Amino acid sequence: MEFSKDTKIYIAGCGGMLGEAVYNKFNTIVNVCATDIDVSANWLSYADVREYKAIKKSVLDFGPDIIVNLAALTDMEYCENNQENAWLTNALGAENLALLAANLDIPYVYISTAGIFGGEKEFFNDFDTPNPLSYYAKSKYHGELVTKQFVKKHFVVRAGWMMGGGPSKDKKFVNKIYRQIISGAKQLNVVDDKLGTPTYTVDFAKGLYRLVESELYGTYNQVCEGSCSRYDVALEFIKLLGLEKDVFVKKVPSDFFAEEYFAPRPPSEKLVCMKLKARDIYVMRDWKTCLGDYSAVFIKDLTSRKRPVRREYITQVVNMFD
């Protein structure tokens, strides 16, 4: 498929950390309609994937050539405690957009997660059978199933441990570490028994563009090269910030956070990008290289602060897991 400014791509759930990167990549080349329930930027408009009539009107008013679905609830504990909303957003929302894509006979892109696997082995390729453990994973896997069932021209693209968006948008592991650092934490407890593959939003967006352009429809794993533990990521990030002498990263088992992080997680959700590599459309770089690039925004923010914010718990141990 040859993209141009005449190509119209509708992106749902575009207000988050991945959405910003996807918008920045696609908007310079095609005509994008970016929507979200949180209209946090002037390039976003409101649309809720859970409401079929409303999302249908939003889509039909734009008249897209492609629909991309980034809308998801990704906080695993929230999904465990709010199962109905998890199903409505992650499953029904995906179903609503898949139906619209099928009725319009246009390609549909659904972003899934490495979390759909159960951790029965260390590495999972594109063809391995999912075994979702949590309500987050179950609802996301349903999105995969309906996408494949309803839409002939579909892309299911699985991401891993997401990083991107910077201090203002990153809701995941890297920014959780950073927020504790600027609050004055001197020690971080980080698990070393959960394994995965980081996924940089900027690289993911580039890969997504290349994949959609290829018209090689199907299911794909798309993550950075290399794999690691949460502890490895934390250690590398502290090093990149130049704080290895100021902040100590301590290894702890997952049980250490059993009360706070109670949603079931697989011991390993490492993805292998077998199909992208075999078809010579893999663009993701090594996770350490990507984290190095990503760290620049945190280094800039850190150096702009005259000194870290000091709070009462400065000497307390800070718990970091997910």
For each of the chain's 322 residues, which pLDDT tens digit applies?
Answer: 889 999 999 999 999 999 999 999 999 999 999 999 999 999 999 999 999 999 999 999 999 999 999 999 999 999 999 999 999 999 999 999 999 999 999 999 999 999 999 999 999 999 999 999 999 999 999 999 999 999 999 999 999 999 999 998 999 999 999 999 999 899 999 999 999 999 999 999 999 999 999 999 999 999 999 999 999 999 999 999 999 999 999 999 999 888 888 999 999 999 999 999 999 999 999 999 999 999 999 999 998 875 544 443 333 444 555 6
Give the pLDDT of residue 44.
Answer: 98
* 171-195+228-267+287-320: CATH class: alpha beta
* Structure tokens given for 295: 């760290």
Give the pLDDT of residue 314.
Answer: 35
- Mark 274-303 as b/e (b = at least 16 C-beta within 10 Å): bbbeeeebbbbbebbebbeebbebbeeebe
Burial label, 85 (beta-carbon count in 10 A; 0-12, 13-18, 19+):
middle
Among candidate residues 281, 277, 159, the one with its CA nearest the CA of residue 214: 281
Give the pLDDT of residue 189.
Answer: 93
Does CATH number 3.40.50.720 belong to domain 8-164+197-221?
A: yes
How far apart (Å, rounded) are the C-alpha atoms in residues 119 and 131? 8
Look at the block and give the residue holding tokens 């934390």: 234
Q: What is the pTM assigned to this prediction?
A: 0.93
Give the pLDDT of residue 260.
Answer: 87
Give the pLDDT of residue 308.
Answer: 46
**Domain range annotation of the chain:** 8-164+197-221, 171-195+228-267+287-320
Q: How many helices (H) and strands (E) does the chain have?
A: 12, 16
Count of CA atoms in the C-beta half-sphere (13 A) of 111: 27
Give the pLDDT of residue 312.
Answer: 37
Q: 105 near 208, Cβ under 8 Å?
A: no
Give the pLDDT of residue 108.
Answer: 98
Number of other CB atoms surrounding residue 61 within 10 Å: 12
Q: 72 near 141, Cβ under 8 Å?
A: no
User: Nearest-5° angle of CA 99, CA 100, CA 104?
Assistant: 115
Among candidate residues 139, 266, 251, 289, the one with its CA nearest the CA of residue 194: 266
Burial label, 230 (beta-carbon count in 10 A; 0-12, 13-18, 19+):
buried
Give the pLDDT of residue 3.
Answer: 93
Q: 35 near 44, Cβ under 8 Å?
A: yes
Give the pLDDT of residue 315.
Answer: 36
Establish whether domains 8-164+197-221 and 171-195+228-267+287-320 are of one fold.
no
